[in-house]
Amino acid sequence: MAHKTQVGIIGAGPAGLLLSHLLHLQGIDSIILEQQAREAIEGTIKAGVLEYPTVQLLKQLGVGDRMMREGFEHHGIELAFGGKRHRIDLHELTGGKSIMVYPQHEVITDLVAAVLGNGTTIEFGVADVGLHDVDSERPSIRYTRNGEAHEIQCDFIAGCDGFHGPSRQAIPAAVRREHLKTYPCGWFGILCEAPPSSEELIYAQSDRGFVLVSTRTPTVQRMYFQCDPADSVDNWSDDRIWTEFHARTAGSDGWKLKEGRIFQKGIIAMRSFVCETMQHGRLFLAGDSAHIVPPTGAKGLNLAAGDVVLLSGAIADFYRGASREALAGYGASALKRIWRGEHFSWFMTTMLHDFDGEDTITRRFRRAQLDYVVSSRAAAASLAENYVGLPFEGPA
């Protein structure tokens, strides 16, 4: 079965959905292909810290009402080390900006509703996705759904299908310029039924390893501790997990984490990845298909938003008959913000994690950096500016 559209989008994550909605508002049609079922992408609980520019974008696009009702606006974060907690006042240091704690799967739920409300087709549960003729002016996407073969003929393909999707692999390996850093640790994450332990996120560094204390709802909390990426959740009983959390967050002020029933456990790897070849012919990459960050800096979804703001504008310029320079310069423009986000995520990760096999001088460097951040307004302001998010980039 053959279909035609202007932009074929692979992936119904934040990048693909947001791109489709942005294009619709500019009169440009799209079709989205997604491997998973709708219930899976809306029901898989994922972290979500939204930068100030991302929050403003969602509000401007008319998809931020539930976020504003149910999300948690935070004006600061805490850095905990040496038995003490230190607050970084994001709001004061950035001239009134803040972050929003609103899980990624909720953003997806809101965007799916908006995209379907636009009359756009989302094909859930597809398989065998292949990209064809991306070097031509009429590329296509072939796939199967319920055993039936389909083809989408389009003007452009947007690869928003994540690190393991087929889009990046459709760019010849000989021309792909990629960079990868794998960190020698992972994060052991839990979801638990408990009241919030803190009004703001806590980033804790200790000799036993890193901890992040976050929240999801008034009754569900999300927390992580640094672990061996090859470890297994089967090695960690609930009692052992809480003992480890308490040991790593113990301080002189008597504050303690609030415990509750743990109903989800998982280990995630830590890596930095950038594919600088974000376009090839009529194929354009956005979001996790082009870049991955360690979660320490809370940048993943926000970098994807920056990508699609640029890409949607460049495609709109094409259809308005304007210059094609924005399309030609999409990758170069997007990479400015991507590399800034990648560096900040690396900075936060190396400042807060102790790695096996390090020499003692590296650990002292880490403590010196933490001391500097909490004692220098300039250093705190730099962290705050990056954490709340830099403005979305314009064309190069």
Q: Confirm whether 74 is a catalytic residue.
A: yes
* Structural Rg of the chain based on CA atoms: 22
Task: Please give the Cα distance from 317 to 333 (Å, whole number).
Answer: 15
Task: Please give the Cα distance from 249 to 82 (Å, whole number).
Answer: 10
Catalytic residue among 105, 295, 330, 353: 295
Catalytic residue among 53, 299, 330, 353: 299
Q: Confirm whether 295 is a catalytic residue.
A: yes
Q: Confirm whether 224 is a catalytic residue.
A: no
Residue found under tokens 């760019």: 171
- Contact of 284 with 332, CB cutoff 8 Å: no
Task: Please give the Cα distance from 91 to 95 (Å, whole number).
Answer: 6
What does DSSP say about strands 30-34 and 121-124: parallel, antiparallel, or unpaired? parallel
Q: Confirm whether 59 is a catalytic residue.
A: no
Which residues on adjacent β-strands are paired with residue 153?
4, 140
Q: Confirm whether 387 is a catalytic residue.
A: yes
- Which among 219, 217, 270, 213 has a CA at the least distance from the CA of 246? 213
What 3-state class would DSSP assign to 12?
A: coil
Catalytic residue among 21, 24, 74, 291: 74
DSSP 72-108: EEES-EEEEETTEEEEE-HHHHTTS--EEE--HHHHH
Catalytic residue among 203, 294, 330, 353: 203
Instruction: Tokens for 231, please give them.
Output: 């470890």
Identify how many contiguous H helices and E strands the chain contains and give both numbers.
Answer: 13, 21
Catalytic residue ranges:
74, 203, 295, 299, 387
